[in-house]
């Protein structure tokens, strides 16, 4: 299965047909800039209005009101220990499954606009 982030939502391709999910289905926003599948198989979609988690049936969205550093979510990664990292327009957010921790230039980050994340060996 392939997933594609677009400016009209997220499209899933099963090898035969496309299915599109968007804000009407519960996605945080139709502008999807990042797609990530965590170790538990949940899909995460970074948008310009927060990040949405998809369990195959429903979306749960997180925004700055939940502790996310900024609602523009450019990149998503999962560390070996399990926490998720979100690169946003306003810094990094680390999500341990319950709470968000924000890291910005005040903590030593080069710039608050984080476009990609990678954990090396």
**Structural domains in the chain, sorted by start:** 2-107 (2.120.10.30)
Q: What is the pLDDT of residue 15?
A: 96
Q: What is the pLDDT of residue 81?
A: 94
Q: What is the pLDDT of residue 56?
A: 95
Q: What is the pLDDT of residue 50?
A: 98
- Residues 47, 56: Cα–Cα separation, whole Å: 18
Cβ atoms of 24 and 52 within 8 Å: the answer is no
Exposed (0-12), middle (13-18) or buried (19+): which is 15, by Cβ within 10 Å?
A: exposed
What's the whole-number mean pLDDT along residues 33-60?
Answer: 97
DSSP 34: E
For residue 57, how many other CB atoms are within 10 A of its CB? 6
């Amino acid at each position: 299965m392939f997933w594609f982030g677009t400016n009209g939502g997220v499209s899933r391709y099963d090898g035969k047909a496309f299915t599109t999910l968007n804000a009407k289905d519960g996605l945080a926003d139709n502008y999807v800039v990042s797609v990530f599948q965590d170790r538990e198989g949940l899909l995460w979609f970074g948008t310009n209005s927060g990040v949405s988690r998809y369990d195959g049936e429903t979306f749960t969205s997180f925004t700055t009101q939940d502790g996310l550093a900024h609602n523009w979510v450019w990149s998503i990664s999962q560390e070996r220990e399990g926490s998720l990292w979100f690169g946003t327009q306003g810094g990094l957010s680390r999500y341990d499954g319950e709470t968000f921790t924000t890291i910005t230039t005040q903590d030593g980050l080069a710039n608050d606009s984080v476009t990609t994340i990678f954990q090396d060996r």
